[in-house]
Amino acid sequence: MNSKSLPTAVPLFVSIMAIAYTIINPNNFQTLYLSIGAVLVFGLVIWLFSQTDKGVEWLAEFQQIKIEMRKVVWPQKFETFSTSGYVLIFTIVVAIFLWMVDSIFSWLVLKIV
């Protein structure tokens, strides 16, 4: 999906969801009208913003972000799973350690009081 199709895809998706909801619940057309109105207003606001100087700057910035995202070297599946495993193991070890420290302090407080 390119950057030009995203502004079109979001209102289209919302409209499809509103129509599907109206088909499921045919007695409630208010949702359909509100959804279509919200999509039209959102589209108008985005279009008006894109015509301003600040909007043009933002669009240029998003184009730069898109270019930089292509340069990112994403981790392989193995790297992702191994790193997630390390984080999970470390989290469990720290949780056990904190539980032990909490138990010791609770025992001490009960002995003192």
Nearest C-alpha neighbor of 16 from the set 47, 48, 39: 39
Range of the domain at 4: 1-72
Nearest C-alpha neighbor of 18 from the set 2, 38, 43: 38
pTM for the whole structure = 0.43
Q: Give me the residue label for tokens 């057309």.
A: 29
Please check whether residues 37 and 66 belong to one and the same domain. Answer: yes
Please check whether residues 63 and 111 belong to one and the same domain. Answer: no
Please check whether residues 68 and 87 belong to one and the same domain. Answer: no
pLDDT tens-place string over residues 79-97: 999 999 999 999 999 999 9
pLDDT tens-place string over residues 56-82: 888 888 889 989 988 988 889 999 999
Structural domain total, the chain: 2
